[in-house]
Amino acid sequence: MPSKPLKFIDLFAGLGGFHLALQQLGCDCVFASEIKEDLRHLYELNFGISPAGDITQINPKEIPEHDILCAGFPCQPFSQAGYQQGFKDSKGRGNLFDNICAILEVKHPRYVLLENVSNLKGHDHGNTWKVIHKRLVDLNYHVYEPQILSPHQWGIPQHRRRIYIVCEHNDYWKDGNFEYPTPQKQKSNIKELIDTDDLDYLPLKQSTRLQLDVWEEFIKQTVAHGQKIPRFPIWAMEFGANYEYLDKAPAYQSIEKLRGKKGHLGMNIDGNTLSDCLECLPVYARTKTAETFPDWKKSYISRNREFYYNNKSWLDTWLKEIQDWENSHIKLEWNCGDEARPTLEDKIIQFRASGIRVKNPTFVPALNLVGTQIPIFPWVKLPNSDEKGRYMTRQEAAKVQGMNNLNFNGLTMGRSFEALGNAVNVDIVKKIAYNLLTRNQNS
């Protein structure tokens, strides 16, 4: 590492992922900003620095001189899970990149390290990236080709693809490319991060345990009747339905064509208006966005109906257990393949808006901004109890983000996971920064 500690600033600091990575490389943080008050308090508690607030209200001239600008600038405008509005985001989050550029224009630090969602480069058919690239080049920076990396590529048990952008000011840049860290084919072991003695966990509600038991019975019966667990999303609300969907979406059909058919969970479709009839259908079948369903939706409906008719003998009894469940709880995504043991007991489970997602216990899914989607470990024995199964703890989630022993004092469980879902991964940033800084230690 350079003999003289480099100075860095941490923008949109959150839990301080950039801070931890660069601090471990001997660099000094001279400024941080974070708009959320609770995260500012936590940042000061963990690092002894009180971040400034809203970056849009800070004069770039008042920011201390620094060698490295770090920013995991807001990703929601570019995320595939959001509205993908990019720079047109109505809340102004897409324009916060302008504030980064304003600082670069005044302070021209040697290095720039940026992180965002993997969708950034392809957003708006590549136009968003063209704008970002041009702005950085116009500010006299050499922009290395961005790379999409994930912790699981180094044996860290989390699948979290993010784009990393590295820049160097042309006053310093020399011929020869900086190289991103090379992914390794290392196996990950989820059990290495689990602390069975950690008492700071959310227990499973009895209703959640019941839902898992009912879906466990579904898997058991599927196998017992000689079937494979479907690889397509299981939409149980389609079981027993026979409304027409191939030529026209139900919202564009006549009332007469809908009446007398069966909809959600085999419910009879009836009503005096089209709206009344649509209310009898699965939620996804009520859409008015287009006159015909997309091919992928037709395929899922067709496959679910076929599965139902092949297993009607036992599914009709099973369906009685889920009559009153929320829409997202009667959908299941089995992401484990055909070779996995047909049970939920040794899988990682996540309750998502798209359904209950089941994955092999190799690595946890990317931590989500929604605190209610915390991964569940069904096999973990609870301390001082005969019961098994609990949500992932904050410290376990912090470990996969490289934030071991981070203090979460004052944050609720849901807020902690929201912040962790929005954080940059310390291990990846550290690898990138190490390659960049050691390459130039004598220049």
Start-to-end C-alpha separation, the chain: 12
Tokens representing 263 are 């909809």
* Catalytic-labelled residue, pool 29, 70, 75, 280: 75
Helix (H) or strand (E) holding 46: helix 37-47
Cα angle 346, 196, 342 (rounded to 5 degrees) comes to 5
Separation CA 110–CA 172 (nearest Å): 7
Distance of CA 196 to CAs 212, 367, 371, 381, Å? 21, 20, 21, 7
How many C-beta atoms lie closer than 10 Å to residue 285's C-beta? 22
Sheet holding 331-335, edge to edge: 234-235, 331-335, 355-359, 348-352, 376-381, 388-391
Measured CA to CA in angstroms, residue 311 lies from 183, 343, 368 at distances of: 44, 19, 35
Active site residue 75: yes
CA 126 – CA 65 distance, rounded (Å): 33
Give kind and range of the element (H or E) at residue 159: strand 158-159
Residue type, 412: T
Overall size of the chain counted in residues:
443
- Residues facing 235 on adjacent strands: 331
Contact call for residues 201 and 391 (beta carbons, < 8 A): yes
The catalytic site residues sit at 75
